Amino acid sequence: MKAKVKTFPQGAHIYELKGDTAAKNIVDTSPPEEVVIPLQQHIGAPCKPLIEKGDHVKIGQKIGASDSFVSAPVHASISGQVTAIEPRKTSLGRKVLSVVIKANGQQEFAGELRGFRDELPDGEQIISLIREAGIVGMGGAAFPTHVKLSPPEGKEIDRVIVNGCECEPYLTGDHRLMLENSEDIIFGLIAIMKALGVKKGFIGIEENKMDAIISMKDASSPNQNIEVIPLKTKYPQGAEKMLIKAIVNREVPSGGLPLDVGVVVINTGTAKAVTDAISNGIPLVERIVTVTGSNIKNPGNLRVRIGTSFRHLIAECGGLNEESGKIIMGGPMMGKTQHTLDIPVMKGTSGIVLLTGDEAAAAEPGPCIRCARCVDVCPVNLVPIGLANCSEHEKFGDLESLHVLDCIECGSCSYICPAKRPLLHWIRLGKAKIAAMRAAARNSTSSK
């Protein structure tokens, strides 16, 4: 009898739309003439610039850092001259103080980090290297990795999971990385397991990537402590809570984190970045970005210097089919719509999805027909229509008691709704208002 493939309860079966790029090798983009490197690219404190306008910088040179523990330094991704340190637009929807570097056409490396080619350093050194290399979660959230690897007193971590699901439609960068850099991902996982003193590691991959499952099994086979787990292709299988439930059958409590159930989850790109830092002393200065969708001429998976503009990547991919259309940073389910191509790739930019105007046109929402399909798909057992209604009518007390803050913003409810109600839009708005009200209450208490 065939073993049942692991997964989580509920969730949605969605269009995958990965065919345009899944079989395309990762290619290097031509070096940009200019990069714009935001000094805040992650959750946590922004960095302060360590250089001045006019300075000459080299690849891998630390150009921004913060004393705050929840922060990650940023590094120059090209060599050249700093032409400005000023607020610039980012995909976060606001301007962020950024370092602008004009390329000098050279490939000069700073070599500030020490690599350990032959033997892994001890756990503390691994975490310190990861911090110095500016490594963050590269699946999109961009949470500083050294913080994840430093659980508070009393929290025991006994499992590390590499997230190879890439369950968002269109995106294939993680898939290609697992095919082309499988051994580096395993090395990064082993380093993280050593840093945490963990004996068991997993790599979870959806079944629609059988070649990646085989490749990762081959790469991990000498190590008995690492297991590759094929998972059902279902959205949002790659969300941390869903992945943990499917692989180790533990449930992250409401308002909790993976470390509350003894698990650390890292993305494939993060594991590769850890290897680059530890083996070669290279900080996080580049990442893989899938550039795809109906409105791009030659979709592909690109290796990109952090700070390269979206516009440069579009040109590398042959340009747009039509000038208007929709630009999404990330995947279409959880990504953010952008209004310009003149924004830089950041550490958390997994993809750029470009859709034609016709394809992107939003359907007119109709009245709710009370079918409960949004409830059936919600992976964290919420009542999306109830949340959306409370948010729309500004009933924020009710919204909180319906556990809106547990919403992982996966978008399954909006996707499945036959009436095309913009459920996630209202839920996000409600969450943002609650967060703003809490911040205001904190400020008024602290100023008393």
Give the interface with ligand SF4 as residue ranges (CB under 6 A): 368-374, 377-380, 382, 384-385, 387, 407-413, 416-419, 421, 423-424, 427
User: With 0-12 CB in 10 A as exposed, 13-18 as middle and 19+ as buried, what is 159?
Assistant: buried
Cα–Cα distance between 81 and 294 in angstroms, integer? 37
Which of 309, 311, 351, 315 lies closest to 90, judged by CA? 309
Name the residue nearer to ligand SF4 (CB basis): 162 or 374: 374
- What's the min distance (Å) between Cβ of 388 and ligand SF4? 7
Cα–Cα distance between 334 and 190 in angstroms, integer? 30
Name the residue nearer to ligand SF4 (CB basis): 76 or 387: 387
Name the residue nearer to ligand SF4 (CB basis): 271 or 423: 423
Cα–Cα distance between 201 and 439 in angstroms, integer? 38
- What's the min distance (Å) between Cβ of 185 and ligand SF4? 28
Q: Between the CA of residue 438 and those of 322, 380, 388, 397, 403, what are the distances in Å? A: 44, 23, 20, 12, 15
- What's the min distance (Å) between Cβ of 387 and ligand SF4? 6
- What's the min distance (Å) between Cβ of 423 and ligand SF4? 6
Name the residue nearer to ligand SF4 (CB basis): 184 or 240: 240
For the chain, helix (H) and strand (E) counts, in that order, are: 14, 17
- What's the min distance (Å) between Cβ of 325 and ligand SF4? 25
- What's the min distance (Å) between Cβ of 18 and ligand SF4? 21
- What's the min distance (Å) between Cβ of 443 and ligand SF4? 28
Which residues in 54-179 belong to E strands, given as ranges?
56-57, 62-65, 74-75, 80-89, 95-103, 159-163
Q: With beta carbons less than 8 A apart as the criterion, state whether 303 and 24 touch.
A: no
Name the residue nearer to ligand SF4 (CB basis): 58 or 421: 421
Q: What is the largest CA-CA distance in the chain?
A: 68
Cα–Cα distance between 111 and 116 in angstroms, integer? 13
Name the residue nearer to ligand SF4 (CB basis): 115 or 422: 422
Name the residue nearer to ligand SF4 (CB basis): 45 or 408: 408
Cα–Cα distance between 360 and 373 in angstroms, integer? 23
Instruction: Please compute Rg for the chain using Cα positions.
Output: 22
Name the residue nearer to ligand SF4 (CB basis): 43 or 368: 368
- What's the min distance (Å) between Cβ of 374 and ligand SF4? 3
